[in-house]
Homo-oligomer: A and B are copies of this chain.
Amino acid sequence: MRLTTKGRYAVTAMLDLALHYKDGPITLADISQRQGISLSYLEQLFSRLRKQELVDSTRGPGGGYRLSRDSHDIAVADVITAVDEKVETTRCGGLSNCQDDSQCLTHDLWTELSAQIHEFLMGISLGNLVERQGVQEVAARQEKAETNFGMSKDAVANS
């Protein structure tokens, strides 16, 4: 389990979906605009999220993405592992004979550590995050900005 900005982007986007669940399918363009993530990058991320069946997609006008299940049933860990392809960064590769025909100190240690972090992130769902105060506040501000300044859309697109 790695924690990178890629995972953060994915979690943010999924959180956006969770926040706007009641609005029906959400387009990537909407997410791009609200969260300031490029459309193409979102496409890449959602390709994986869809393969992991974390989201459902609808094509055509009025289409978009929706969470595949209740936000409380999607863990942050699910989202992160979906977009972070697990590169085996151990020298060992799949085997565990990276050193003197035995596995290195690193191997066991990091595997265990990683498992515990994973477990921790499994305990936090998108639903949990939506309920948090800070998230609510920012989301409200984003909605407001959206309705008040129609021009900001183009301003962002042109920058």
Interface residue ranges, A against B (CB under 8 Å): 1-5, 8-9, 11-12, 15-16, 34-36, 76, 89, 91, 98-100, 102-110, 112-114, 116-117, 120-121, 124, 129, 132, 134-135, 138-139, 141-142, 145, 152
Which residues from chain B contact A116 at a C-beta distance below 8 Å?
120
Task: Give the distance to chain B from A107, nearest Cβ to Cβ, in Å.
Answer: 8
> 8 additional contacts, CB 8 Å, given A102-B142, A108-B134?
A3-B114, A8-B106, A11-B113, A12-B106, A35-B99, A35-B105, A105-B139, A108-B135
Q: Mostly helix, strand, loop or mixed at chain A's interface?
A: helix
Number of copies of this chain that the complex holds? 2
Centre residue among A34, A109, A117 by max chain B CB count within 10 A: A109
